[in-house]
Structure formats: C-alpha cells, structure tokens
Amino acid sequence: MRQDLVVWWVREDQRLHDNPALCAACEDARARGVPLLCLATEAPGGVTRWGFDRVGAHRRWVTWRRLQGLAAALGRHGQGLRWLPLPAVEALRALQADHRLVAIHAQQGLAPQERAEEDALLAQGLPVHRHESGGLFTRAALPFGQDVRTGALALPRSFTPFRAAMEHRSPPPPLGEPPHWPRRPQGPDGAPPPPDCPSADPRSIHPYTTPACDPGEAAALQHLERYLASPAVAAYKQTRNAPSDAAASTRWSPWLAGGALSPRQAWAALDAHDAASGRSEGSHWIRVELLWREYFRWLMAVEGARLYRPTGLHADAPPPRHDAGGFERWRAGRTGLPLVDAGMRELAATGWLSNRLRQVCASALLHEMGGDWRAGAAWFEAQLIDYDPQSNQGNWAYIAGYGTDPRGGRRFDLAWQARQHDPDGRYVARWLDNPGP
Ligand SMILES: Cc1cc2nc3c(=O)[nH]c(=O)nc-3n(C[C@H](O)[C@H](O)[C@H](O)COP(=O)(O)OP(=O)(O)OC[C@H]3O[C@@H](n4cnc5c(N)ncnc54)[C@H](O)[C@@H]3O)c2cc1C
C-alpha cells in the first residue's frame, strides 16, 4: 500500500541517543501525522584498485552486528529498521517509487562518497534534510571565518592552532533519545543476512564478539562508564602508546567510528568525571585526542576529494611511488621488520591496532617498503573495526607528508620504537611466535 512516510536514513550515526537526524525525523513524522520509516542501506563494497576487498571480514561482521543492535533498540520503542540491500541512492529511489517520501532526514556526510549520495538524491528532487552530527562542534560554532576567495571554512592548516582555538570551548551537551516516537509503517522490515563471523583470536585486546566489546550502543555506554570509573584515565598520558595493554587507551574508537557513541557523549562523560574526581592530566589528553578526531572531520569537510589525490593537499609535490611486492609483504606481515610484522598480523587477526603501531606500520610501508600511502590507507580501511574515513585518510596523509603535518611527514625509527614501546619484546613475541587460532 502506498503511504506517506518520513524517513530516518541511517548513515554513520547508529544510535538512539544524541542523534539530531533521528530526533528531527521523529518530530517531523509526529507533526505531519505520518509514520516514521527507519531505513538502513547496503554499505559500498567491491574490490579496491589494489586488488583486495574494500570491506574485510572484521568490519563486515561488526557493521552487521551494530545494525542488529540498532534494530533491537528501535524495537523497544515500537519501531522497526527496514533494510534495503541496495546502495543508498537506489534504495531511496526504489522506495520513492512505491511510497511518497515527504522528508528524508540524514546525518550530513563529510567524505566525497557520502556527499555525492546526498547531491544525487537532491538532484533527483528527493526531500533530503541534512543534519550536522557526529562531531563535537557545528560549523556555526567554529571561530575560523571563511576563505575570502572560495567561501569555504578557513580551517588552520595544522592541528596546533586548531587545538589552541578549540580546547577551551565546550561542545553542546548531548541530546537524549527522541522524547516521542511516531507510529511505524506497515510492512515487514527485512534484515541483512549474517556474514561469517571471524574466529575469535584470544590475543585480541578488543574482542568484538564478546558482550563487553559488542559494537552496539548499549555496550558503548557501559564501556564509557566503566573506563571513566577506572584508574586508567589518570594514567592515560603515560600508557596510551603501549601496544598490548587493553587499558592503555580508551578503546572508544570502535564505538565512535561506528556511531554507537557520539563524541559529545564522551566529552560530557569526561566533564562529569572531572567534576567528581578533579581534572587530571589523563582526561585533558583524552580531550586533545578527541580534538584530533574533530580536526580531521573538518579537514575532510573542507578538502574532500583533494585528500584522496596521489599528492593529497600538496598539488606540486612529487607523486608517491608504489612497489607492489613490498606492499604485499607489508600487508601479509612478512617484511622481516619484527615490530611491523607483529602489528600487521595483529591488524589482520583482530581488526585492531594501537595508535603507535598504526604510525609505525604506516611509516614502514612508506619508507621501508616503498608503498603508496593510498594503498596503505585502503588496507586499513578494509581491516579496521574503527574505520573512519576522516581519521584514516587524514592520518595517512599526515604521515606521508601529503596532509597537514608542518614537518612534512614522519619517518619512525623502528629500532627506537621497539626499545621504547616493546622493551621486553612481549608484543613482538605474542604476534610472531604464537600462530593464533
Ligand atoms: C595511519 C593511521 C590510521 C588511522 N585510522 C583511524 C581510523 O580509521 N579510525 C579512527 O577512529 N582512528 C584512526 N586513527 C587514529 C587512532 O589511531 C585511533 O583513533 C586510536 O588508536 C583509537 O584507539 P583509542 O580509542 O583507544 O584512542 P585514544 O588514544 O583513547 O583516544 C581517544 C579518541 O580520540 C580519537 N583519536 C585518538 N587519536 C587520534 C588520531 N591520531 N586521529 C584522530 N582521532 C584520534 C579517537 O576517536 C579515540 O577513540 C588512525 C591513526 C593512524 C596513525
């Protein structure tokens, strides 16, 4: 039956709390007296130009599981989650052929692919309403003004002035769940078929098949609370680079990247922590890291497709070279460089890597193995359970010297890194001597 519908188009923000697009969709549907359709669509897949699947097994399973959790949470409010196994633009067009979509509320995309989807729908006359979400600050709250020539946001070209301008500002408090839920439309939901579940690796420090590390919103909120009640916060600055300790850093990224947790929720929880226990060096540095995430979001918003060019933001720089054999050895964890091989094997086995090992492995691909930074970024994109286009592309470009590093890129001294971060060789032994499951 043809129905008038308001749609919440599920994109990165896969949660009920602090979700401006979902709140607006609920309010809109209620005001118009029409049902709310919550719609998930198939994520882009396929094979990369470097010859491997764009989405690897860890990410595929985590994404599926998060959607299951979202469907269950919506069900508790009498809502459903309809899944259309099509790319977003086709799915919404197909829906429009059967129904009258009076409004489509969605999180505003930042990366070129998401922006292209929105533009295509708008060009076809679909009523897309974009909501700024998933970051700490809105565009209007940034103190940077406009580039006089292009009219774009005049974002600082490096992180330090961005941080100086933003670190004493407070983001708005997070929203709660929508206060009123409209009725749901008639018709079945459909659910994505479960992908193969990768075998659990007992060495993983973020075992995402266990309840504690489940990718959904409920586990995200429990982890946030548990982490902030632990002594790990105070020690964060000293421990954050340790490669093999589950409490060394927050491990918020799988939930932040998947949208099960918003950075405003994390920031507000840090504020509450500091109000109760006093501001610590640890909580200060966690906020600085959240500002790095924020910086890369705005960088993507301003630079878009330029961040994907061979020379990134430096049009006149020499293009990267690419040694395909070196890249394959790097990808397989067979470079002969113990710390790098350990990191690459941890990544392939678990979908996770600490920040320091990401830096070390990225530097090794660029400087020891002669690989193109975009191939490395694509491999991380396929593997990481916390894959986030802004943070991944921004960090890779930074290390390669094609982004916003004022020093023009980083080359890590591997022997020094091993002495500093794995002095007893435990991390290397864990991944190189023990074959795993
Ligand atoms: C080559 C490379 C690729 C990366 N790809 C991603 C990615 O796809 N997704 C992703 O979320 N992070 C990425 N990072 C950033 C960083 O490594 C992870 O965010 C961090 O390791 C996640 O662990 P944590 O949650 O315990 O972080 P913590 O150290 O506890 O930091 C708290 C939060 O701050 C943010 N953060 C921390 N460091 C960075 C950083 N350098 N850049 C941006 N945000 C940061 C994250 O949201 C993180 O959850 C990448 C870093 C490098 C060097």
285 CB within 6 A, ligand 1 = no
Residues 92 and 150 in one domain: no
99 and 242 part of one domain: no
Q: Are residues 265 and 371 in the same domain?
A: no
Q: Please give the chain's pLDDT, 437 residues, in tens.
A: 789 999 999 999 999 999 999 999 999 999 999 999 999 998 888 999 999 999 999 999 999 999 999 999 999 999 999 999 889 999 999 999 999 999 999 999 999 999 999 999 999 999 999 999 999 999 999 999 998 888 899 999 999 999 999 999 999 999 999 999 999 998 888 888 889 888 889 999 999 999 999 999 999 999 999 999 999 999 999 999 999 889 999 999 999 999 999 999 999 999 999 999 988 899 999 999 999 999 999 999 999 999 999 999 999 999 999 999 999 999 999 999 999 999 999 999 999 999 999 999 999 999 999 999 999 999 999 999 999 999 999 999 999 999 998 888 889 999 999 999 999 999 999 999 865 55
Write down the pLDDT at residue 244: 81
Give Cα separations from 98 to 33, 92, 104, 191, 434 (angstroms).
19, 10, 15, 19, 55
What is the extent of the structural domain holding 224? 135-170+214-308
Domain presence at residue 185:
no
**Contacts of 45-49 spanning 24+ positions with Cβ under 8 A:** 48/378, 48/382, 49/378
Q: Is residue 198 part of a domain?
A: no
Sign of CA dihedral 280, 282, 285, 287: negative
Q: What are the φ and ψ backbone dihedral angles of 102, each rounded to 5 degrees?
A: -85, -25
State the Cα–Cα distance between residues 52 and 8, nearest whole angstrom: 32
Q: Which of 263, 285, 308 is the last residue of a domain?
A: 308
In a domain, 93, yes or no: yes
Helices (H), 173-240: 217-228, 232-239
Ligand 1 atom at minimum distance from 353 CA: 21
Q: For residues 324 and 298, state if they share a domain.
A: no
- The CATH number assigned to the domain holding 281 equals 1.25.40.80
CA torsion sign for 62, 65, 69, 74 is positive
- Together in a domain, 253 and 352: no
List C-alpha distances in Å: 142 to 155, 197, 253, 295, 412: 9, 42, 24, 11, 33
pLDDT for the residue numbered 44: 82
User: Residue 417 sits in a domain of what CATH number?
Assistant: 1.10.579.10
| CATH code assigned at 56 | 3.40.50.620
The residue among 108, 133, 158 that closes a domain is 133
Q: 379 C-alpha vs ligand 1 centroid, how far in Å? A: 16
Is 80 part of any domain? yes
Q: What is the CA radius of gyration of the chain?
A: 22
- Nearest atom within ligand 1 for CA of residue 248: 26
In a domain, residue 236? The reply is: yes
Residue labelled with tokens 């479960």: 194
Residue 145: exposure state from Cβ atoms within 10 A (0-12, 13-18, ≥19): exposed
Q: Are residues 157 and 280 in the same domain?
A: yes
Nearest residue (CA) to ligand 1, atom 48: 253
The count of domains in the chain is 3
Q: Evaluate: CB of 297 within 6 angstroms of ligand 1.
A: no
Q: What are the tokens at 351?
A: 């979908």
- 289 and 318 inside one domain: no
Is residue 186 assigned to a domain? Answer: no
Same domain, 297 and 149: yes
pLDDT value of position 410: 87
| Residue 87 CA to ligand 1 centre (angstroms) | 28
Q: Count other Cβ atoms within 10 Å, centred on residue 39.
A: 23
Tell me if 380 sits within 8 A of 396, measured CB to CB. Answer: yes
Under DSSP, is residue 278 helix (H, G, I), strand (E, B) or coil? coil
Pairing of β 36-41 and β 82-84 = parallel
112-123 vs 88-98: helix axis angle to the nearest 10? 20
